Each structure stands twice: as C-alpha cells, then as structure tokens.
C-alpha cells in the first residue's frame, strides 16, 4: 500500500540576519526538495540533514538581501561540480533574481572554468504573479521592504495542503488578503516581541505583535514566527499569543513539521 503524500517543513535556520552561533538565518525546506532562501550555509545545512543538495528541484527566494542569498555561490558551485545545476529551477523577485545569480556565477568565474555551462533555469516573478507545476502552485503578493520581495502562498497538489510565508516585511495590510484563511502563516519577527516602531524601522521589519495582527486579521490557522533573536523566541511567542488566539510557535531547527 502506498503511503499518502505529506507536506513537510524543515527549518534550516530561524535566526536573525547575523545568526546566533549554531543557527542560521531564516531558511527552510518544503518536502525536502524545495529550498526557501539559502541563508549563510545552505550546502552544509542540507548535508547535515542527510539531504543531497543535488536532489533539490526548486529554490525560492523571498527577496535578495544578503542574509537570504549569502550561500548561493557555494550552492551553485556544489550543483555545478555534481553536474546537477540543470535539475534546479530558481524562483524569485523579477528585479533581482537574474542579476544576483549572474553575479554569483561571476564570483565563481563560471565562464573561465566551465566553458559550456548553461545559465540556470529561472522563474522571475513580479509581485502578484503565480506559477504552477503538477506538484505545486504558488501565488504571490508584494511585501514592504527596501528591496522587492514576495510573500508566497504555497499549495501542494499532492497532499492538498496549503500555507503562506512572508519573507522579510514590515506590517503590510495587502498581505492579509493574500494569506487569508491559510492553515499556516510563517511570518518574520526580526525586531523581537514588540511591534516595530515606524519611526525607527528603516529596514522595514516586523515584530511578533505585527505578525500576530496579520495572522488574526487573515484568520489563519496557526502562526510560526521566524527570523528573530533566538534568545527572545519565547517572549515573541507569548506576545503574539496575547493577540492571536490560535497556536503560535517558534519552530525548532532541523525538526520536520508535517502539515
């Protein structure tokens, strides 16, 4: 008897832009084959989980601030050296996806060392655009951040499960409608337990209170907080729980969560 397909999330990191020792910045796996952002150490993180980076099928980028693509060159190098670059499709914001990948290849001196290397497969998305395969569908909306960002709504065709994840963003009402009713919302909490102060938020991030307000208004089933100081994770969960009535957790890194 075949085993029913399950949608699984595994967090490679949940920490801040400069991650806590032993952690990584926000990055996670969907079904062990779709990577969301690379963080600082994607290749090592994957291999420590027993996952061959060559088995990745898609890499999603929420946006292109350094901490979210810092290990892109090492991931590209691994895929090139294992002759598996053509197996992976890279998806991300249209403004930066191709230029950043091109610069990563330039950093690797790709034209010098791999004469016949084909440029990776890309799916550049303008906020609001969708993309669908026989395995999943994603829809997007913009985030509020200094660079172009995508908030994703992910539907797993094989399991029928759905969830949303924001990437980095300040409190942004358009996200509410986009993630409305999803069983799970993954939202950043970079500034900690409190709401971000609009007068001191030039990097346009959220706190746990901001995330909880979005989750409550969107009527999602559960809230996961990531991308914040790990020493304040419990404080963040409590602050969000005071606003959002459904379960709030800060996910454990390297632990599979089944939707």
pTM of the model as a whole? 0.96
What pLDDT, in 10s, does the model give residues 47-105? 999 999 999 999 999 999 999 999 999 999 999 999 999 999 999 999 999 999 999 99
Average pLDDT over residues 108-123: 95
Assigned token pair, 108: 């690797």
Strand pairing of 58-60 and 256-258?
unpaired
Q: Answer whether residue 1 shows pLDDT above 50.
A: no
Is there a domain that residue 194 lies in?
Answer: yes
Q: How many domains does the chain have?
A: 1
Q: Is 132 exposed, middle or buried (0-12, 13-18, 19+ CB in 10 A)?
A: exposed
Is there a domain that residue 17 lies in?
Answer: yes
pLDDT at 2: 45
How far apart CA 214 and CA 176 sit, in angstroms, is 6
What pLDDT, in 10s, does the model give residues 193-217? 999 999 999 999 999 999 999 999 9
207-239 burial code (b ≥16 CB/10 A, e <16): bbbbbbbbbbebebebbbbbbbbbebbebbbeb
Is there a domain that residue 1 lies in?
Answer: no
Is there a domain that residue 2 lies in?
Answer: no
Assigned token pair, 203: 């990097």
CATH number at residue 188: 3.60.15.10
Asked whether 104 and 111 are in contact (CB, 8 A), the reply is no
What pLDDT, in 10s, does the model give residues 26-40? 999 999 999 999 999
Is there a domain that residue 192 lies in?
Answer: yes
Is there a domain that residue 219 lies in?
Answer: yes
What pLDDT, in 10s, does the model give residues 234-249? 999 999 999 999 999 9
Is there a domain that residue 129 lies in?
Answer: yes
pLDDT at 4: 72
Is there a domain that residue 84 lies in?
Answer: yes
* DSSP assignment of 118-176: PPPEEEEE-TT-EEE-SSEEEEEEE--SSS--EEEEEEETTT--EEEE--S----THHH
Q: Answer whether residue 119 shows pLDDT above 60.
A: yes
Domain that holds residue 229: 8-258
pLDDT at 3: 52
Average pLDDT over residues 213-235: 97
- Quote the mean pLDDT of the chain: 96
């Amino acid at each position: 008897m075949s085993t029913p397909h399950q949608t699984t999330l595994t967090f490679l990191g949940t920490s801040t832009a400069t991650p806590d020792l032993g952690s990584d910045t926000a990055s996670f796996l969907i079904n062990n084959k779709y990577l969301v952002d690379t963080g600082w150490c994607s290749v090592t993180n994957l291999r420590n989980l027993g996952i061959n980076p060559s088995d990745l099928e898609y890499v999603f980028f929420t946006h292109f601030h350094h901490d979210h693509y810092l290990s892109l060159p090492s991931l590209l190098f691994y895929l090139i050296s294992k002759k598996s670059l053509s197996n992976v499709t890279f998806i991300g914001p249209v403004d930066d996806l191709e230029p950043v990948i091109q610069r990563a290849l330039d950093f690797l001196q790709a034209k010098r060392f791999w004469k016949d290397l084909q440029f990776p497969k890309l799916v550049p998305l303008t906020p609001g655009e969708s993309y669908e395969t026989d395995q999943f569908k994603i829809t997007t909306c913009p985030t509020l951040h200094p660079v172009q960002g995508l908030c994703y709504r992910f539907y797993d065709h094989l399991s029928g499960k759905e969830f949303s994840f924001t990437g980095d963003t300040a409190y942004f009402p358009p996200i509410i409608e986009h993630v409305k009713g999803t069983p799970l919302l993954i939202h950043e909490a970079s500034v900690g337990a409190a709401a971000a102060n609009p007068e001191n938020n030039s990097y346009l991030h959220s706190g746990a209170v901001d995330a909880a307000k979005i989750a409550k208004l969107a009527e999602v089933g559960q809230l996961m907080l990531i991308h914040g100081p790990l020493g304040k994770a419990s404080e963040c969960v409590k602050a969000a729980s005071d606003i959002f009535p459904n379960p709030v957790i800060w996910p454990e890194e390297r632990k599979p969560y089944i939707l």
